[in-house]
Amino acid sequence: MIDTKLLREDPERVRASQRARGEDEGIVDEILAAEQARRSSLTEFERLRAEQKSMGKQVAQARGEDRQALLARTRDLAADVKRLQGEADAAQDRFDALVRRIGNVVEPEVPVGGEDDYVVLETVGTPPEFDFEPRDHLALAEALRAVDMERGAKVSGSRFYFLTGVGARLELALLHLAVAQAVEHGFTPMITPTLVKSEVMAGAGFLDAHADEVYRVEADDLYLTGTSEVALAGYHADEILDLSQGPMRYAGWSACYRREAGSYGKDTRGIIRVHQFHKVEMFTYCRVEDAATEHQRLLGWEKEMLGKVEVPYRVIDTAAGDLGGPAARKFDCEAWVPTQGRYRELTSTSNCTTFQARRFGIRERDPHGSGTRTVATLNGTLATTRWIVAILENHQQADGSVVVPAALRPYLGLEVLRPE
RNA sequence: GGAGGCGUCGCCUAGUCCGGUCUAUGGCGCCGCACUGCUAAUGCGGUUUGGGUUCAUCGCCCAUCGAGGGUUCAAAUCCCUCCGCCUCCGCCA
């Protein structure tokens, strides 16, 4: 949810953001009108309500005929108050519904355009040169008995899989490495709920444009989360945080569930695009003026992790039209996948500024004035199951074995994965 | 799943039976001021949150006693539904 004060004071900035995203800018004026209607309706209700209250006190003291006369007047007043309250509530609902349709105000630096209009900020490492025909990650994994797609499909359907033997060990090693790095940098590790209430799903911004991406457990009205970001964003809902000692940083470990609706036929081979995977996610609550700096820190920690698994990658600055609703800016790190001859997303870090926190009512004492103000939230990937794809393909050898990156060896207990 | 108890403005707590000066009591904590070599102690004052009005401050007003409805001129208080926590019973990976 965006700041309606900004909307009132600088509507042009919001219109520009909508244009950059390729979305309706007319909604800005609709919201301004709805806000005006909401205020006047509320003022009217409050005026009458104040009158009703003061008359109520007179009734309490009056006796006999005076009391009967007052009661007659106040009965009519009660009916009016009720009607005006209904109108004020309706105006508030209309306003809320409109505001919720608008995405976060994008940062001015964000590239304009859609999915293909990203800007490459940096390329790190060099794609490996093989003097043999490289195998793709699934061929490698099957030879290593690391992944079992067939039985995954038998048990749960397409896009499900088993990680088996060294595959399971490799994932655990990777996730442990990620948690260890997060702890080293002061994050609090968290194992989060993966079923959440609809308010939490909505607050994190996952029931807006991409609601069909989400699994819903109908009998209990709960949602399976596609990232621990959801639970971590809801963790401090309705709280006033103390950020005077710096940002609060959490590292969430969770299974992630995605319906992958609308991606039929895409990435059907292997574990690149699957319905369930594991992820270690960084999540930060910080002051709004620190958000851009924190975003760079999160990106830095993602790069540190990618360096540890020794895969070539590039960093892109996602264009406005490809940002999620809550994000004001997003950087993706994409690893080189040799058999595809292109870079594929391994991490994504978003600066959601106050968008999520405003929906969740997460505030701090205003350090510059009185009262409270909304905090900023940011998130970023530290490791996921998909990383296995890049690790296997980039570190493969002619005989189908895979060299384990040095940083993973202490967690995996193996230097080389060999086909059985 | 069943029975019972509970949910009050940071924490604890009074108030709920029997609706109206509840403008929600008191303690702790916290903030400010005073006093005092310093600290402590003490005294005085302040301290829920969200919103409206206002250029803004002050002030005034509205909402807020787990959430949402209802009854009533009037609800922390009465009624209904839901949520959460605790105790016991049942069931179960």
The pLDDT of residue A348: 97
**Bases along strand B below 7 A from a protein CB:** 20-21, 49-53, 61-63, 69, 73-74
Is the shortest CB-to-strand distance from A5 to strand B under 7 Å? no
pLDDT in tens, A18-50: 999 999 999 999 999 999 999 998 888 988 888
Q: Name the β-bridge partners of A402.
A: A396, A417
Is the shortest CB-to-strand distance from A92 to strand B under 7 Å? no
Task: Return the closest nucleotide (C1') to the Cα of A366.
Answer: B49
Is the pTM value of this prediction over 0.90? yes
Report the candidate in A328, A346, A256 with the shortest Cα–Cα distance to residue A292.
A328
Where does the pLDDT of residue A82 fall: very low under 50, low under 70, confident under 90, or very high at 90 and above?
Answer: confident
Alpha carbon separation from A52 to A64, A66, A87 (Å, rounded): 20, 16, 17
Where does the pLDDT of residue A128 fall: very low under 50, low under 70, confident under 90, or very high at 90 and above?
Answer: very high
Task: Return the closest nucleotide (C1') to the Cα of A372.
Answer: B49
Single-letter amino acid, residue A348: S
Angle between helices A291-309 and A166-184 (to 10 degrees): 140
Question: Phi and psi of A189, rounded to 5°?
Answer: -70, 140
Among A32-36, A52-56, A209-213, A404-408, name the most confident range.
A404-408
pLDDT in tens, A234-264: 999 888 888 888 999 999 999 999 999 878 7
pLDDT in tens, A298-345: 999 999 999 999 999 999 999 999 998 999 999 999 999 999 999 999
The pLDDT of residue A177: 98
Q: Report the catalytic residues of A.
A: 258, 273, 345, 348, 386
Can you tell me the ipTM of this complex? 0.85
Contacts of A162 (CB under 8 A, 6+ apart): A147, A148, A151, A152, A155
